[in-house]
């Protein structure tokens, strides 16, 4: 079975894979026509699904997992499709908190592969421009959820929105969590342009929820919602939240509580299910999305008790994830300036004041200097490293040079992530904190080391 499983992975990863090879130079390289034709070959499984579609620069994964957990706790059989995965491709396909098995993955690959082969025979041009890795894996998700007859699907956008492979559904609710500068070559170099791409998931006469607070992207989102006759629900307009910080002094990581009130429901005060002040915002967007969903389909209404149950044991790996104590080991996939700023604020507000060591490695085409400017002031020691299982890594000496240029500090270089972690453990006192960040690639590799797991069977498991 292992040989069969690896053969199917080899097939998938032989396809054009923007997660491994780097994003397209321009958004116009992406097309939805091929994705629609592939789904037609599979019987259009997306047409019978009740979908909540989620885009955003940051927060879309956390928001998605909150919505899915609440729906599952309410008794709705719920599928969650998210990307990237950290260790195994199966992590992308989850129903009620359980990822698919290796056997199920093989079966999905085989069925979709048959449709891809037929499509490429009928359209010879596709033999040179065939279905991509993300198109095939997204088709697998839609087929799996339709086959399993789930009651709802929470679908996370891969990149952008308008031309993303997931944008072949007609969702009950579309959500944009936040807008910040990222993937500027593909999506545009202004917040308004990026917002327009992400709001491209809005569908005519279907409700939309926005957690965007800045004026420029908010105007773009309002414009698209109006053009498509979407009932738009906005943070600070249709729903509000208030964060109550954890009490000081801290002796353990604490997220605090958030009070959320929407146009429909006073949710009261809830524990923030994930670490970080920014997760209060994501919680509010998730609850507003649940309210919009209940209006669109009363059969999917979720009450407060279900939310509390769903949030109680919520875990979202590599998002301010505490993996060890004495010293604290925090692993986070922050990979742009906005997410680095959110991580920095979380370390300040949710963890004890202590000696801190940064282990940092990132990806080409990211704002290396911008990320480091957010993080460096919080750390006493910096170790530059790289992830080993993907060719997009920035060389450690380049990371070190960027850090030196910012504040002149001495930076240790450890090219191997296992050695970087070992050095950090050696240099950090038991009461201190180690933070590993800069990319989900690096987060995945460090998690595998800590959990004593084999690395992903293939190269290129996660977009950074």
- Tell me which range, 117-121, 185-189, 232-236, is most confidently predicted by mean pLDDT: 232-236
Residue 123 pLDDT class (50, 70, 90 cuts): confident
In our burial notation (b when 16+ CB lie closer than 10 A, e otherwise), range 308-325 reads bebbeebebbbbbbebee
pLDDT at 254: 73
Residue 79 pLDDT class (50, 70, 90 cuts): very high
| pLDDT of 454 higher than 70 | no
CA distance 38 to 215: 39
User: Residues 222, 179: contact at Cβ < 8 Å?
Assistant: no
Q: State mean pLDDT over 95-117.
A: 96
pLDDT at 313: 84
Lowest average pLDDT, out of 86-95, 112-121, 138-147, 248-257, goes to 248-257
Residue 335 pLDDT class (50, 70, 90 cuts): confident
pLDDT at 458: 40
pLDDT at 393: 87
User: Residues 378, 350: contact at Cβ < 8 Å?
Assistant: no
> Cα 139 vs. chain centroid, distance in angstroms?
18
Residue 457 pLDDT class (50, 70, 90 cuts): very low
Mean pLDDT computed over every residue of the chain: 89
86-103 residue pLDDT tens? 899 999 999 999 999 999
**Higher local confidence (pLDDT), 350 or 386:** 386
Q: Could you identify the residue written with the tokens 């050696």?
A: 426
User: Residues 125, 117: contact at Cβ < 8 Å?
Assistant: no
pLDDT at 367: 87
In the chain the domains, ranked by start, together with CATH numbers, are 2-312 (3.40.1190.10), 321-450 (3.90.190.20)
In this prediction the pTM is 0.91
The sheet with strand 239-244 has its strands ordered as: 239-244, 257-262, 266-271
| pLDDT of 253 higher than 60 | yes
Q: Residue 81 CB: number of other CB atoms within 10 A? A: 24
Closest CA to 218 of 243, 245, 200, 196: 196
396-431 residue pLDDT tens? 999 999 999 999 989 999 999 999 999 999 999 999
**Higher local confidence (pLDDT), 295 or 278:** 295
User: Residues 277, 246: contact at Cβ < 8 Å?
Assistant: no
281-308 residue pLDDT tens? 999 999 999 999 999 999 999 999 999 9
pLDDT at 231: 98
CA distance 362 to 408: 20
| pLDDT of 1 higher than 80 | no
8-39 residue pLDDT tens? 999 999 886 556 555 555 555 567 888 999 99
Q: State mean pLDDT over 143-155.
A: 98
Q: State mean pLDDT over 58-82.
A: 96
Q: State mean pLDDT over 56-71.
A: 95
Distant-in-sequence, close-in-space partners of 330: CB < 8 Å, separation ≥ 6? 320, 321, 322, 323, 347, 351, 433, 434, 435, 436, 437
pLDDT at 182: 58
């Amino acid at each position: 079975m292992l040989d069969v499983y690896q053969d199917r992975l080899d097939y998938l990863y032989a396809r054009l894979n923007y997660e491994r090879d780097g994003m397209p130079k321009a958004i116009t390289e992406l097309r939805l026509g091929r994705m629609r034709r592939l789904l037609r070959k599979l019987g259009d499984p997306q047409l019978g699904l009740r979908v909540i579609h989620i885009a955003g620069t940051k927060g879309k994964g956390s928001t998605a997992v909150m919505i899915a957990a609440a729906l599952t706790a309410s008794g709705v059989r719920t599928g969650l499709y998210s990307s990237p995965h950290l260790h195994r491709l199966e992590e992308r396909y989850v129903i009620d908190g359980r990822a698919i098995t290796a056997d199920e993955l093989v079966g999905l690959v085989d069925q979709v592969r048959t449709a891809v082969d037929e499509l490429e025979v009928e359209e010879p041009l596709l033999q040179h421009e065939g279905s991509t890795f993300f198109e095939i894996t997204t088709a697998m998700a839609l087929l799996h959820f339709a086959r399993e007859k789930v009651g709802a699907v929470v679908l996370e956008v891969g990149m952008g929105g308008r031309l993303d492979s997931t944008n072949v559904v007609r969702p009950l609710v579309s959500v944009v969590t936040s807008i910040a500068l990222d993937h500027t070559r593909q999506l545009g170099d202004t917040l308004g342009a990026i917002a327009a791409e992400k709001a491209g998931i809005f569908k005519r006469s279907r409700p939309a929820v926005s957690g965007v607070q800045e004026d420029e992207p908010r105007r773009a989102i309002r414009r698209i919602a109006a053009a498509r006759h979407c009932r738009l629900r906005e943070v600070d307009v249709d729903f509000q939240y208030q964060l109550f910080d954890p009490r000081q002094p801290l002796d353990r990581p604490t997220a605090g509580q958030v009070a959320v009130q929407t146009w429909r429901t006073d949710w009261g005060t809830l524990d923030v299910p994930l670490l970080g002040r920014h997760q209060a915002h994501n919680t509010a967007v998730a609850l507003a999305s649940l309210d919009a969903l209940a209006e669109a389909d009363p059969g999917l209404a979720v009450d407060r008790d279900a939310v509390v149950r769903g949030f109680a044991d919520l875990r979202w790996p590599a998002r301010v994830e505490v993996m060890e104590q004495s010293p604290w080991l925090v692993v986070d996939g922050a990979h742009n300036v906005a997410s680095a700023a959110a991580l920095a604020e979380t370390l300040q507000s949710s963890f004890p004041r202590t000696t801190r060591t940064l282990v940092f490695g990132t990806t080409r085409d990211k704002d290396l200097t911008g990320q480091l400017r957010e993080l460096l002031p919080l750390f006493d020691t910096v170790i530059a490293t790289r992830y080993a299982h993907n060719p997009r890594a920035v060389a450690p000496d380049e990371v070190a040079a960027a850090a030196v240029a910012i504040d002149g500090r001495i930076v240790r270089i450890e090219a191997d992530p296992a050695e970087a972690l070992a050095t950090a453990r050696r240099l950090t006192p038991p009461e201190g904190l180690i933070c590993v960040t800069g990319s989900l690639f690096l987060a995945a590799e460090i998690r595998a080391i800590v959990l004593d797991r084999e690395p992903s069977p293939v190269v290129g498991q996660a977009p950074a």
